[in-house]
Structure 1
Amino acid sequence: MKYPIVIEPGSETTAFGVEVPDLPGCFSAGDTLDEAIENSKEAIALWIETVLDDGGTIPEPKGVADYAKDPDYAGWIWAVVEVDSTLLDDTSERVNISMPKRILSRIDRYASAKGETRSRFLVNAAMDRIMHAGGGSLK
């Protein structure tokens, strides 16, 4: 999926600022133009993950032409960045993992007592670990 970004030119003393018009409040920066563009990809991914984790919906990206005439962006630089579309994919995928039987038995007992399936428990445990580790930065 491709998102247009708009970049406020930087200088030797200020960073290049990036806004993502399709994603309210999604912004980034970089010391160079290339760094600003690259950093915007991580900002977009984290914005999408946060909104989906909070139960929100993600707006479809529009084209640069939809925003280019906005006077607020006069003199800014436009670019389009590609973001991994699997960020929006909530379809289930069967995976094969290995773990000691005694751990699997404990997981099954715990999940059953909480009225969960094994899969739901493992997903919740993984997301809890990711969130407590700082949101699972892409770097």
Structure 2
Amino acid sequence: MTHYVAIAEEEEGKAVGVWCPDLPGCVSAGDSLDEAMANAAEALTLWVDVALEHGQPIPAPRSLVDLKRDPAISPELSQFMVALIPLRPQLDAAQ
């Protein structure tokens, strides 16, 4: 099963934001970390669905090691929580 790295940004008194560095524009949020992570899984599914509908390629997920080497991403990895979001099996097979 394919998993994408997600970065969860949490600040006191604000919604929790989640984004996937390998899928530009794939973002979500929630009032709690649990809600934000559930919404992130849905956002990932919708992002892939739309890309497939338009015949666009789905970027391969990078490993955490590869993301740490990316100067645009590495500061975020050290500052915020990192999670893995699974790609639905039927979407994984469609790639």
Which bin holds the TM-score, normalised by the shorter protein? 0.7 to 0.9
Aligned residue pair count = 89
- Give the TM-score, by structure 2 length: 0.82
Q: Which residue type is aligned with residue 40 of structure 2?
A: S
Identify the structure with the greater strand proportion. 2
Structure 2 unaligned regions, length at least 5: none
- For the aligned residue pairs, the C-alpha RMSD in angstroms reads 1.6
- By how many angstroms is 1:67 displaced? 2.1
- Higher-Rg member (1/2): 1
Q: Output the CA distance in 2 between the equivalents of 1:72 and 1:85.
A: 28
1:44-92: per-residue Cα shift (whole Å, max 9, x none)?
Answer: 00000001101101011112222246124441110112121211434xx
Residue 38 of structure 1 corresponds to which residue in structure 2? 38
Identical amino acids, percent of aligned pairs: 37
In the alignment, is the contact (CA less than 8 A) between 1:10 and 1:17 conserved in 2? no
Whose RCO is larger (CA < 8 A, sep 6+)? 2
In the alignment, is the contact (CA less than 8 A) between 1:4 and 1:61 conserved in 2? yes
Q: Output the CA distance in 1 between the equivalents of 2:93 and 2:63.
A: 22
